[in-house]
Each structure stands twice: as structure tokens, then as C-alpha cells.
């Protein structure tokens, strides 16, 4: 029996890939325009997805995916506070959504994925109390447009967004240790999520609205070291639980999500007030001596995924979707092995009662990996960025993923 035949998932499970507009569209129209990454690349170069989205969407069909997570770029759609949506951009996004639906691919749409319109960034970003009203206006106008969407993610990885933008300074607005501004931004983001969900549910009570939250297994690098232990504890309870529950519950303590999107990228060993990970510059021989698997950015821990999903189901009782899980590497054997191990862990969680309803691989094609630029290769399809048309080629892992989807549908569906 092959590896893929051993995996079984519900027959109506959502199998997808995930992207974000700033990372793939090109000709950037938000605060990331002109941003220079560590490798010297700029987001504006993009992957030419905006001009040639059908080429990428055909990859979805080739792999056999039945869902796709995409984002709508607020800066591209709304050029000033309260302004009507740009008709040209709205038409293009509508074409994308209709293409997906016409090919039986369920869209899952993200409204905020790390990127603000330049006009919002220039007025204080999410630390500005007016940001809630600005975002509500944007969402209201999208709903007026009647886009064919059932599944919505209001905010992607708020903890990462705040950490990178307000504490570490690697993302716009590039602030360092701006704790108070970061706190205000978190509060306003959560209130904006609540307002957006209320509007979406009012228009379509059957809609599913949630957030996508980044989860890591934080553990002290030195189990005996007081600072390591305290920092790991704070990361778990502030970065994970405090941020998550700011969105899962409204100000009255009521559930304010229809699902939790789980972005899962493994383990982080905390040392002092930093971390030990490849992307932070930890030496590769450390991981080799520790006998752990890493991609080019993070330490992997497939087994913890199962424990995480079971604990989330027990704690919140909400449906779960793996809205991102992927691996930055050019070692295709490693990518294949890691995906197989994560899917096995996912299957184990479902067998134990975790209410997981979909899996979205990060990402469909190689892309602009924010501050890292184009050097981190996550895609199911590789891109030749030196070629004139930025040629796409499906990697071997895409064939494996396709086989999993075909061979794992024996179980009766149990989701409505």
C-alpha cells in the first residue's frame, strides 16, 4: 500500500493552496510598494499574477484542488478613505472569483493580509482609531458588490503582523518596541474583525467568517534557563492565546468567529529575548546536532500539529481549517517528506475528534516572501524569475499532493 493510499479524509474535505495579493500580484498598490527586501527584491516585481491569473488558476485544476485561498488587496481596491471601489480592480477580482466557481473551486477570501493602503499607513495605520470605520466601509462596499464568496478570513496572522511591524520593525510601519501603538493596533484590528463579521453575516447568514492565526510550538532553548522559560511562556500566552482570543470572542465574551484558520509552521526554540531558527540566523549545525528537521526558515514539528488541533477543538469547539502550512526549501525530497508527515498528523487529529475541514498548502507558486524577498521557495510550482514570462513548473510535491487528494476520499463526509 502506498503512502498516499494510507491517508483518508472526509470526502467533502477542502483541499487547497493559499496565496496573498501583495506577494504574487505585482505592480503593488499598497504600503509595500517600493519595499526593499533582504535580497534586494521589491514586491512590485511580483509574479505577474494580476495580469495572468488564469495561468496560475489552471495549476489548481491540474493538481486537483477544490478550494483556493486568495486575498483582495484593500489598497488596490480603495484609493482613499471611504472612496468608491476601483471598478477596474473590482472587475478583475470578480473575474477571478467567477473563474474559480465556474471550475468548482471554492474561494476562501482574505480581507487583510499584512498590507494596508498607503493612505491608511500615512494616517497612523491600525493605531489610528478611525481604522475601524475605514475597514468597515471597505467591507461594506465589497458586500454591496455582491462577490460570490461564502468563506471569509478577515485578518491574517495579527500576531505576526504586530510583531514584525511594531516590535521588530521588519514590516511596515517598521517600528521597534512600539508596545503601546501595537496594543492599540491589536484592539482596533479585533474590533474591525467583529464589525466586518457582523456585516457579512447580516448579508449572508450562511457565510463562514474567521481569522487566520499563526501557531508555533514555543519551547525554551535551555530548559533550565529562567529567561528562556519566561519568554517561551509569554510567547505562548501573549502571541498565541491573547491575540487569538481577541478575535475569537467579542467584547461581551461571545463567540465572534465561525471558524479558526490555523497557519502552522512548526516549532520555535526561544533563547533569551530572541529565537533559534534558520531565518533568524541560527547555525545549521545546531539543528543537525539536535537531530531536528528544518526548512530554510523554521524548525519543523509535524507531530505537534495533531496535538494543537485537538486542543483547539476542545478549547473553542469551532471548526478548524489549516489555512497555511508549507515549507521553504529547494530540497524536494525534504518538501515531500514534510508534507507527508504533516498530512499524517492532520489525519491523526481528525481521527481523534479534531473538527478540521480543510487544508491549504502555502503556497501555490513561489512568491515575494515579505522581508525575505524571492529567495524562499515555498511553491507547489516553481517560478523562473529570470525568464521573460516568469515560467511556472509544477514541482514533484504537487504530484504527490494530487495523489493524496485522489486516493484519500474513501471516508464518508461528515461536514455540512
Q: How many CA atoms lie within 13 A of 26 on its CB side?
A: 13
> Cβ contacts of residue 142 below 8 Å, gap of 6+?
72, 77, 85, 111
> Which grid cell is 367?
512568491
What are the φ/ψ torsions at residue 19 (nearest 5 degrees)?
-145, 170
- State the pLDDT confidence band at 3, using cuts at 50, 70 and 90: low
Residue 412's pLDDT is 55
pLDDT tens figures, 352-367: 999 999 999 999 999 9
Residue 409's pLDDT is 64
Distance CA 235, CA 228 (A): 11
pLDDT tens figures, 142-154: 999 999 999 999 9
Q: The whole model's pTM is what?
A: 0.96
Distance CA 178, CA 158 (A): 15
Residue 289's pLDDT is 79
pLDDT tens figures, 68-106: 999 999 999 999 999 999 999 999 999 999 999 999 999
- State the pLDDT confidence band at 6, using cuts at 50, 70 and 90: confident
> Which grid cell is 31?
504600503
Residue 377's pLDDT is 97
CA 70 to chain CA mean position, Å: 10
Exposure string over 64-101, b if 16+ CB within 10 A, otherwise e: ebbbbbbbbbbbbbbeeeeeebbeebbebbeebbebbe
Residue 226's pLDDT is 87
Residue 5's pLDDT is 54
Q: Which domains does the chain have, with CATH numbers?
A: 14-407 (3.20.20.80)
For residues 330 and 238, which has the higher predicted lDDT (pLDDT)?
A: 330
With pLDDT > 70 as the criterion, what percentage of the chain qualifies? 97
Torsion angle, CA of 20/65/394/376, rounded to 10 degrees? 30
Distance CA 363, CA 20 (A): 9
Residue 273's pLDDT is 84
Among 355, 323, 114, residue whose Cα is nearest residue 213: 323
pLDDT surpasses 80 at 370:
yes
For residues 18 and 292, which has the higher predicted lDDT (pLDDT)?
A: 18
Sequential DSSP letters for 325-392: E----S-HHHHHHHHHHHHHHHHHHHHTT--EEEEEEE-SB----GGGTT-----SEEE-TTSTT--E
pLDDT surpasses 50 at 1:
no
- State the pLDDT confidence band at 2, using cuts at 50, 70 and 90: very low
- State the pLDDT confidence band at 245, using cuts at 50, 70 and 90: very high
Mean pLDDT computed over 313-336: 97
Query: Across the chain, what does the average pLDDT equal?
Result: 94
Amino acid at each position: 500500500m502506498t503512502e498516499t493510499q494510507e491517508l483518508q479524509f472526509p470526502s467533502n474535505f477542502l483541499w487547497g493552496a493559499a496565496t496573498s495579493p501583495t506577494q504574487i500580484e505585482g505592480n503593488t498598490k499598497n504600503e509595500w510598494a517600493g519595499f526593499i527586501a533582504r535580497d534586494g527584491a521589491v514586491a512590485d516585481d511580483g509574479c505577474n499574477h494580476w495580469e495572468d491569473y488564469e495561468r496560475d488558476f489552471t495549476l489548481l485544476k491540474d493538481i486537483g484542488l477544490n478550494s483556493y485561498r486568495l486575498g483582495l488587496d484593500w489598497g488596490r481596491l480603495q484609493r482613499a478613505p471611504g472612496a468608491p471601489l476601483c471598478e477596474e480592480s473590482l472587475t478583475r477580482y470578480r473575474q477571478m472569483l467567477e473563474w474559480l466557481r465556474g471550475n468548482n473551486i471554492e474561494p476562501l477570501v482574505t480581507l487583510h493580509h499584512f498590507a494596508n493602503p498607503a493612505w491608511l499607513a500615512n494616517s497612523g495605520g491600525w493605531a489610528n482609531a478611525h481604522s475601524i470605520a475605514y475597514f468597515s466601509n471597505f467591507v461594506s462596499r465589497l458586500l454591496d458588490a455582491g462577490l460570490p464568496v461564502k468563506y471569509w478570513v478577515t485578518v491574517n496572522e495579527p500576531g505576526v503582523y504586530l510583531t514584525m511591524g511594531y516590535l521588530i520593525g521588519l514590516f511596515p510601519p517598521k517600528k521597534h518596541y512600539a508596545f503601546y501603538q501595537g496594543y492599540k493596533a491589536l484592539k482596533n484590528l479585533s474590533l474591525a474583525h467583529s464589525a466586518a463579521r457582523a456585516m457579512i453575516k447580516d448579508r449572508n447568514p450562511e457565510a463562514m467568517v474567521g481569522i487566520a492565526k499563526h501557531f508555533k510550538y514555543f519551547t525554551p532553548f535551555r530548559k533550565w534557563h529562567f529567561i528562556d522559560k519566561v519568554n517561551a511562556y509569554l510567547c505562548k500566552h501573549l502571541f498565541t492565546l491573547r491575540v487569538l482570543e481577541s478575535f475569537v470572542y467579542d467584547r461581551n465574551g461571545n463567540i465572534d468567529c465561525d471558524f479558526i484558520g490555523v497557519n502552522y509552521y512548526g516549532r520555535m526554540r526561544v533563547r533569551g529575548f530572541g529565537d533559534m531558527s534558520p531565518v533568524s540566523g541560527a547555525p545549521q549545525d545546531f539543528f543537525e546536532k539536535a537531530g531536528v528537521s528544518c526548512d530554510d526558515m523554521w524548525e519543523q514539528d509535524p507531530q505537534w500539529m495533531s496535538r494543537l488541533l485537538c486542543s483547539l477543538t476542545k478549547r473553542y469547539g469551532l471548526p478548524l481549517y489549516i489555512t497555511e502550512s508549507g515549507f521553504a526549501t529547494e530540497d524536494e525530497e525534504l518538501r515531500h517528506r514534510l508534507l507527508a508527515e504533516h498530512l499524517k498528523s492532520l489525519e491523526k487529529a481528525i481521527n481523534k475528534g479534531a473538527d478540521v475541514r480543510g487544508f491549504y498548502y502555502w503556497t501555490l507558486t513561489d512568491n515575494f516572501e515579505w522581508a525575505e524577498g524571492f529567495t524562499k521557495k515555498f511553491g507547489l510550482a516553481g517560478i523562473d524569475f529570470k525568464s521573460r514570462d516568469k515560467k511556472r513548473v509544477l514541482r514533484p510535491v504537487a504530484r504527490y499532493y494530487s495523489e493524496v487528494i485522489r486516493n484519500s476520499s474513501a471516508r464518508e463526509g461528515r461536514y455540512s
